[in-house]
Amino acid sequence: MTLRLSQLIGGQARPALSEAWLDVHEPATGTRYALCPDADGEDVAAAFEAAQAAFPAWSTLPPSERARWLDRLADALETRIDDFAAAESRDAGKPLALARDVEIPRAVANLRFFAAAATQFASESHHGQAGLNYTLRQPLGVVGCISPWNLPLYLFTWKIAPALAAGNCVIGKPSEVTPVTAWMLGELAREIGFPSGVLNIVQGLGPKVGQAIVDHPGIKAISFTGSTAVGTRIATSCAGNLKKVSLELGGKNATIVFADAPRTQLFETLLRSAFQNSGQICLCGSRLLIERSAYAEVRDELVARAKKLHVGDPLDAGNQQGALVSKAHHEKVMGHIDLARAEGGKLLCGGNAVQPPGRCEGGWFIAPTIIEGLGPYTRTNSEEIFGPVLTLQAFDDEDEALALANATPYGLAASLWTSDLRRAHRLAGRIDAGIVWINTWLERDLRTPFGGMKQSGLGREGGQEALRFFTETKNVCLNLG
Ligand code: NAD
């Protein structure tokens, strides 16, 4: 039976006002299994009205009360982790274990983290120079949170939780490619009686309902995670009325391995950082730079391990890699692999679509692919592919490693592997990236600033940075004379 999703508007489950629907596909089988509301500006207007009406009460609740609501939502989600994980795995084609053990628990953690942060959010005072100054950080009003398909509930909650914690009312929009778990979260909010209109979730296409959120004159800020192309368009739209905007965009992250890299956990981590979630994580290391003296060793070990990764049904615990999220994305990644061949790249493994027998034979799978022999300014080494595709390049010294690492328009993350901590510190300061990991990858402390430079974004999320983004800062100066 086809699942029919709804939107959450003013505490009610609603279809699109136009009653139009979009097909939702299961990536592992390639079949349609759900219908998602195809909303437009009329739905955004209705969500805005509900959010605006809820704002006075929500924004004046003591932070500890707002925290209690976020905790209740986290508790409800935690009791349903298995259901949400199954839904996320089905909707995005990702291994069930990844959704169950990492992503849905992280969505719970996001809600809990910002619940606690709401109670700890403080502001500065300055005195002794010119009167007594104190800083107010006040909620903005109604804000828009727009998220992508790669980590659907994880990134959706990463935005809505700080927005709500800071006292705003939210209009959230998940990706139309993976709308199911945001819909389920909306249902959970209704079940626990989350205050009506505080959290609204609209569903549908980016250029239609997403753009309507961006363009709505009453919406005070846009927090967006997605592609650089769309982020740039959103920044342009927001510029007209100076709407506050936070952009978390694409990446082409370098992993730099020196010959003295500690081998403990090295190969496991390199493999994960290239192929976790089929390489569809903005933080994946898609360009591996290896010191020449260790090049052959690292390449051969990695290729041997990549060949052993099982690709197939995300529900089968024996498979480490599931499907790519959509037919269009599968075609895009296969096109990049063809381009790499045309640019003269040598494929060391993979490069082919995979058709697992049985239930998943119509799914959108690609084998883990490793390519060498391409220079830093080829399209393969400059453009975000966002699939299970890793390129290898060799370097001779620290300066060359740095030049290669920085030779892309992006600047999201980097991972450095060396036993020489002085060198690690030196390079960490010079790499164009918002996040640098040393001898690790994807370790996250939610208090740290998260985001990228160059074409990877504008602003930072995480901890205090997110609460500051979702508030207006006001200085109050009291004459003590
Ligand atoms: P996308 O830009 O196509 O879409 C992201 C979201 O924006 C979706 O909800 C979409 O419906 C919406 N959207 C599209 N056009 C819009 C418009 N004109 N106005 C408003 N909203 C619009 O991105 P995607 O394909 O869903 O996600 C993959 C991209 O996201 C990759 O580039 C990846 O690197 C990036 N990403 C970045 C981070 C980060 O933290 N920097 C994290 C995850 C993903």
Over residues 314-364, the pLDDT tens digits come to 999 999 999 999 999 999 999 999 999 999 999 999 999 999 999 999 999
Given ligand 1 and candidates 44, 175, 245, which is best to mutate, with the most ligand atoms within 8 Å of its CB? Answer: 175
| Residues 217 and 328 occupy one common structural domain | no
Pick the atom of ligand 1 nearest to 461's CA. 40
Residue closest via CA to ligand 1's atom 37 equals: 249
Question: Does 168 share its domain with 264?
Answer: no
Q: How far is CA 234 from the centre of its chain?
A: 17
Which pLDDT band, with edges at 50, 70 and 90, does 45 fall under?
Answer: very high
In a domain, 380, yes or no: yes
Query: Which residue lies with its CA nearest to atom 43 of ligand 1?
Result: 282
Q: Looking at 166-227, list the stretches that DSSP marks H as alpha helix, in order from N- to C-terminal side.
A: 180-191, 211-215
Does residue 450 form part of some domain?
Answer: no
Amino acid, res. 209: V
Q: What are the strands of the beta sheet with 244-248, ordered from one edge?
A: 12-14, 7-9, 199-201, 169-173, 142-146, 221-225, 244-248, 457-458
* 67 within a domain of the structure (yes/no): yes
- The tens digit of pLDDT for each residue in 85-128 reads 999 999 999 999 999 999 999 999 999 999 999 999 999 999 99
- CATH number where 118 lies: 3.40.605.10
Q: For residue 419, give the 3-state DSSP assignment.
A: coil
In a domain, 298, yes or no: yes
Handedness of CA 361, 364, 369, 373 (dihedral sign): positive
Q: Mind telling me the catalytic residues? A: 248, 282
CA 150 remoteness from chain centre = 7
Task: Give residue-wise pLDDT tens across range 390-438.
Answer: 999 999 999 999 999 999 999 999 999 999 999 999 999 999 999 999 9
pTM of the model: 0.98
Nearest ligand 1 atom, CA 233: 18
pLDDT mean across residues, the chain: 98
Ligand 1 atom nearest residue 450's Cα: 40
**Alpha-carbon separation of residue 29 from 25, 245, 364, 387 (angstroms):** 8, 37, 7, 18
- Please say if the pLDDT value at position 69 is more than 90: yes
Would you state the pLDDT for residue 151? 98
464 plus 379 within the same structural domain: no
Is 333 found in the same domain as 262? yes
> How many Å apart are CA 91 and CA 102, to the nearest integer?
16
Domain range holding 63? Answer: 3-249+456-478
Q: What is the pLDDT of residue 177?
A: 98
Report how far ligand 1's centroid is from the alpha carbon of 226 (Å).
Answer: 2
Same domain for 202 and 292? no
SS3 36: strand
pLDDT digits (tens, 9 = 90+) for 190-206: 999 999 999 999 999 99
Using 50, 70 and 90 to split pLDDT, how confident is the model at 481?
Answer: confident
- Whether 85 maps to a domain, the answer reads yes
Residues 202, 345, single domain; the answer is: no
Helix, strand and coil content of the chain, in percent to the nearest 5, comes to: 40, 25, 35
Q: Whose CA is nearest to atom 30 of ligand 1?
A: 226
Q: Are residues 236 and 320 both part of a single domain?
A: no
What pLDDT score was predicted for residue 115? 98
User: Residues 380, 385, 389, 394: is their CA dihedral positive or negative?
Assistant: positive
**Is residue 421 domain-resident?**
yes
Q: How many domains does the chain have?
A: 2
For residue 451, tell me if it sits in a domain.
no
In a shared domain, residues 288 and 183: no
Residue-level pLDDT at 1? 80
Q: What is the CATH number of the domain that holds 276?
A: 3.40.309.10
Shared domain for 188 and 323, answered yes or no, is no
- Whether residue 403 sits in one domain with residue 261: yes
| Residues in contact with ligand 1 (CB, 6 Å cut-off) | 146-150, 155, 173, 175-176, 206-207, 210-211, 214, 225-227, 230, 233-234, 248-251, 282, 384, 386, 412, 452, 456-457
Is 285 found in the same domain as 219? no
How far, in Å, from the CA of 214 to the mean position of ligand 1?
13
384 and 303 in a common domain: yes
250-291: pLDDT as tens digits: 999 999 999 999 999 999 999 999 999 999 999 999 999 999
- Within a domain: residue 383? yes
